[in-house]
Chains A and B, each alone.
Chain A
Amino acid sequence: MPFSLLKYGLNKDYPFEQHADLPKPTELKPHYDVVIIGGGGHGVATAYYLAKYHGITNVAILEKSYLGGGNTARNTAVIRSNYLTSEGVKFYSESVKLFKELSNEFDFNIMYSQRGQLTLAHTDAAVRGFRQRAEVNKHFGGKTELIDPQQIRELVPTLNMNPADMPVLAGLWHMDGATARHDAVAWGYAKGATQRGVELHQLTEVTDVIVEQGKVTGVKTNRGNVSCGCVVQAVAGHSSLLAAKAGFKMPITTFPLQAMVTQPVKPFLDPLVSSPSLHCYVQQTGRGELVFGGGSDPYPLYSTRSTMDLKESLLANAVELFPFMANMRLMRQWAGLTDMTSDYSPIMGLSPVDNYYLDAGWGTWGFKSTPICGKSMAELVASGGKVPELIKPFSMDRFNSFRQVNEMGATAASH
């Protein structure tokens, strides 16, 4: 055994089995039936379901940087469906169901790990809100319940039950809460899509959208022009900028969102823990690192810079929840751009431009919706613009008819 290992290590072709998951880059074709702008989780998922369920494979995914290199790589990889509105719960619980099967479907491990998510209530108002969320969730088949301090102590023995002098009164225990490796989700979808004939073009930036008589007919890129039957825009963090190229405004404001991770320690924290009153959430990864996240920055900005004051306030609260973490060292910190809508719900469906479909407004809830959003967008594209029931409430014109989907359960850390 050691000799064969040595031989393997010294082999000049090492590693001799090189599986190329993605086909080599090719030239852009002059025409595609569908152009998907944005090679993140949502874009590749849409392409995957288009090819898998609808047999549409003359599809190009145009990504200005590299596969899954934007917000797909910057989120904190939380999967949950304990939302507040019935529209939201229905949508996100479909996503949780799809996530559970993805590793099998891809034949590629996305490291889906269901640990449950615990949200803490420190006020009577929060307890009432949680009771409502638990009931809405149960109604749509989710596993969510309200639990008391004793049950919380049993679930998370290391938790300080009186953080920042705000005693924990109750918890919303969401058993479907999970994490998955976000990069792997994008890679799995990209592999599945390209195997079925979809083209993924990285380092291909869309510089302009060609609209003729109110209808999109093609896009201009840094590698030449492409004509197309329809366009799906899936560029979280840059939705307004791309929409401006197509000639319309969106009800979106873009804020940075900062997160960070500590050095790895022994496993002690199984559930994902969040506290809306303390504006923070904490989870331990499979590698033992602790991930901290909070609310978006207080004002809009197109920059992924980090600020000391946000770090300080977020960590002060995290240390209140788990005081023994005070001496831990941070290993990495980063920021992503979140496209916030005023009702904390996404925008999916039609746009003012014909054959130009929107997948935007994903604020801080984009990763967890990747599978169901891709599946719904594929349905929308394949039907030639017939909006599926599931995403009808999330159309952009809900703002024009003043029928917003008020999703206060959207963020683990309230804004």
Chain B
Amino acid sequence: MKMMNCPLNGLRNISEFVHGGEVKEMPDPNSCSDDAWAEYVFYTENGISVVTEWWLHAPSGYWFIAERHTGSDEILKTYDPSVLFNKRVEFSAPVTEGMA
């Protein structure tokens, strides 16, 4: 079976992993247009190249990032998401005056 190197658990069978889609920059949900949000949610590059993607090691519930070639299926690199994401994302709607 194909193996993947999990940054937390080491080499494991690919069947233990779940693919989570391309890493994309999230627009601000509070201020972006519907089109920009649709673009973020649905539209993908889907090309033949090295792609940076989210993967989940399901048995340990650990999300990480992998760089993989979508033509050869070669996994070039896997690393912890903190390498790319080191700032806290605030999801709550902004408090507008008079609403609180």
Question: With the chains together, A254 CA to B72 CA distance in Å?
Answer: 14
Asked if A402 meets B34 with Cβ closer than 8 Å, knowing A251-B43, A253-B46, A298-B19, the reply is yes
Interface residues on B, range: 20 to 34
- Contact partner of B15 among A250, A305, A309, A399, CB < 8 A? A309
Residues in B with CB closer than 8 Å to A244 are: 45, 47
In the complex the two chains form, is B38's CB within 8 Å of A400's CB? Answer: yes
Task: Kindly identify, within residues 46 to 82 of chain B, every residue whose CB is under 8 Å from any CB belonging to chain A.
Answer: 46-48, 70-73
- What number of residue pairs across chains A and B have CB atoms under 8 A from each other? 60
A328-355 residues at the B interface, CB under 8 angstroms: 342
Q: Does A95 contact B (CB under 8 A)?
A: no
Write the nearest CB–CB distance from B5 to chain A, whole angstroms: 15
How far, in Å, is A281 (CB) from chain B's closest CB?
Answer: 22
Q: Are A240 and B19 in contact (CB under 8 A)?
A: no
Partner of A249, one of B14, B35, B44, B71: B44
Q: Which residues of B contact A268 (CB under 8 A)?
A: none
Supposing A244-B47, A309-B1 touch, asked if A301 and B42 sit within 8 A by C-beta, the answer is no
Q: How far is the CA of A337 from the CA of B19 in the complex (A)?
A: 17
A253 to B39, CA, bound (A): 14
Residues of A within 8 A of B11 (CB): none
Asked if A300 is at the interface of the complex by the 8 Å CB criterion, the answer is yes
A298-B58 Cα distance, complex, nearest whole Å: 13
CB distance from B71 to the nearest CB of A (A): 5
Taking a contact as CB atoms under 8 Å apart, the answer to whether A400 and B48 are in contact is no
Query: Given that A244-B47, A249-B45, A402-B34 are known contacts, is A307 also in contact with B2, CB under 8 Å in the complex?
Result: yes
Contacts of A125 in B (CB 8 A): none
A299 interfacial contact with B, CB 8 Å: yes
Which of A253, A303, A308, A342 contacts B73 (CB under 8 A)? A303
Question: In the complex, A309 Cα to B35 Cα: how many Å?
Answer: 39
Least Cβ distance of B75 to chain A in Å?
A: 11
Scan residues 7-52 of chain B and give those whose CB is less than 8 A from a CB of chain A: 14-15, 18-19, 21, 34-35, 38-39, 42-48
Q: Could you tell me if B73 and A240 are in contact, using CB atoms closer than 8 angstroms? A: no
B15 / chain A contacts, CB cutoff of 8 Å: 298, 309
CA distance A308 to B34 in the complex (A): 43
Instruction: Tell me how far the C-beta of B46 lies from the nearest C-beta in chain A, rounded to whole angstroms.
Output: 4
Q: Can you pick out 28 interface pairs between chain A and chain B where the beta carbons lie within 8 Å of each other? A: A240-B44, A240-B47, A241-B46, A241-B48, A244-B47, A249-B39, A249-B44, A249-B45, A249-B46, A250-B43, A250-B44, A251-B42, A251-B44, A252-B46, A253-B44, A298-B15, A298-B18, A300-B70, A301-B70, A301-B71, A301-B73, A302-B48, A307-B2, A308-B1, A342-B42, A399-B43, A401-B34, A402-B34
Residues of chain B touching chain A, judged by Cβ–Cβ distance below 8 Å, are: 1-2, 14-15, 18-19, 21, 34-35, 38-39, 42-48, 70-73
Interface of A with B (CB < 8 Å)? 240-241, 244, 249-254, 298-303, 305, 307-309, 342, 399-402
